[in-house]
Amino acid sequence: MKAKTRQLLDPVTHRPKPYGASPTATLENRRRFGRRGFLKGAAGAAALAFWTDENLAAYQGTVNTNSKPSDLKITDLRVAVVGGAPMMCPLIRIDTNQGIYGLGEVRDGASKNYALILKSRLLGENPCNVDKIFRKIKQFGGHARQGGGVCGVEMALWDIAGKAYNVPAYQLLGGRFRDKVRCYADTDMSRDPRVFAQRLKTRVDEKGFTFLKMDLGVGLVEHIPGVVSRPLGTTSRDFGMVQHMFTGMELTPKGVDEMAKYVAAVREVLSMDVPLAADHFGHIGVNSCIRLGKALEKYNLAWLEDMIPWQYADLMKTITDAVDIPVLTGEDIYLKEEFLKLASMHAVDMVHPDLATSGGLLETKKIGDLCQEHGVAMAMHFAGTPVSFMANVHCALATENFVALEHHSVDVPWWEDLVNGHKPLFDKGFATLPTAPGLGVTLNDAVVKQHLHADHPGYFLPTPEWDKDRVNDRLWS
């Protein structure tokens, strides 16, 4: 009698192996069922029909396989300083152990050292813990340019986090309230209001702007006798470092009238339809601000910006209560607390943070949310490269009470060429919706190198001298 042959079970499928199955066929079974063994029954059969090798490859192509966010660590921070966009703008790059890097920007005119001093506090941290790191380093920032390093780092952290999770930065802030971001632009002044008005009209006709801003300072009229009372022998340029209330300079009734005539001539060309804000009034006292504000009411300006320094909240409220035009401030304020003070006491009608000063994306969103609770709207100040611009765009998308974002480089022909990726950055009056991960742009190395600041020619050179800084940073005992 012939011995009965024992049929072996496949160790993967637990089904009888076919007689004579080759090792190659068995390996193929293991490959196929090891990948798809979770599919069972009728549903599994349908899924097997879908999960062809081509479909599986396409699916894997949409997954970010370059990062394991929980294991990310910061390994380096380097800088490169761009000049003329429109000012001196230090860019920072934060590197990680997984090849992902993030871009940020120190505010225009600030020192790159504001960012470099933070390097020793960042090394070894997981960049996706954005809020934790921000709370660790925010003590090293301050009002105006002194906050630039902290803000630039915060931008770069969101860039890394977005890349790690494969989503735009605004998605990590809670999602978006709009599909595009309204922009406004400063425009070169002229003592002739008709010339200046035509420049503004070109902004609308050729660039598509739906919101405008003008400078309206005593410098436009101080050459006219009898318009300004001030210490004899001085001009408005002599008071650049003196706060408004301490200059002894006041507009006369004639001066108020001349400045109002200037706005009237501009409005004749533009009509009353387009919002028109005003800034840079000069270092005039509180009472001059009130008289000027009242004279401008008939021209329905969108806001009066920084009439006096923001620190004097009670005096700001005096102006706001006296004038029926929105009063605005905020581009030099660091962190949310002072914005909350201004909004809660209704010292202003609108706030105007500069994200590269105010604390970065999340802190600026918090500023908008806190001010919204008090009925105060938020515009956003910006002057810098496309890196900071994109950080502002993501924040504006995610903040409900946002009104308009400044675009200070619309006339710089090479400005958008500084970056690759999301293009165009600006189209017909609006910043366009970014969809790529993080901030959505990378640097165009060749163009950036062409526009490095003359005093800072290095391009993301190593910075080992900033790796260690042995101090006790704790603020409490």
**Residue range 292-317: mean pLDDT, rounded:** 98
**Residue range 446-467: mean pLDDT, rounded:** 96
Residues 98-127 have pLDDT tens digits of: 999 999 999 998 999 999 999 999 999 999
**Residue range 395-423: mean pLDDT, rounded:** 96
Q: What is the pLDDT of residue 66?
A: 56
Q: Could you tell me which residues come within 8 angstroms of residue 290 by beta carbon, excluding any fewer than 6 positions away? A: 318, 319, 322, 323
How far is CA 57 from its chain centroid?
A: 36
β-bridge pairing 101-105 and 88-96: antiparallel
Alpha helix stretches (DSSP H) within 302-430: 313-322, 336-344, 355-358, 361-372, 386-397
Residues 211-244 have pLDDT tens digits of: 999 999 999 999 999 999 999 999 888 999 999 9
Statement: residue 322 has pLDDT above 50: yes
- CA max distance for the chain: 130
Q: What is the pLDDT of residue 62?
A: 53
Contact 115, 462 (CB under 8 A): no
Residues 24-39 have pLDDT tens digits of: 444 444 444 444 444 4
Establish whether the linkage from the previous residue to 86 is cis, with ω within 30° of 0.
yes
Q: What is the pLDDT of residue 132?
A: 98
Q: Which of 83-87, 268-272, 357-361, 381-385 has the weakest average pLDDT?
A: 83-87
% of the chain residues with pLDDT over 70? 86
- Both tokens assigned to 421: 């990726």
Q: What is the pLDDT of residue 472?
A: 86
How far is CA 43 from its chain centroid?
A: 47
Cα 210 to Cα 45: distance, rounded to the nearest angstrom: 56
**Residue range 9-24: mean pLDDT, rounded:** 44
Distance spanning both ends of the chain, measured CA to CA: 92
Statement: residue 58 has pLDDT above 80: no
Specify the higher pLDDT residue, 50 or 366. 366
DSSP 304-316: EE-SS-TT-HHHH
Statement: residue 471 has pLDDT above 70: yes
Q: What is the pLDDT of residue 43?
A: 47
Domains of the chain in start order, with CATH, are 23-57 (no CATH), 181-450 (3.20.20.120)
**Residue range 472-476: mean pLDDT, rounded:** 89
**Residue range 144-171: mean pLDDT, rounded:** 97
Greatest mean pLDDT among 4-8, 17-21, 267-271 lies in 267-271
Q: At 57, is the pLDDT very low, low, confident or very high (cuts 50, 70, 90)?
A: low
Give the global pTM.
Answer: 0.86
- pLDDT averaged over every residue in the chain: 89
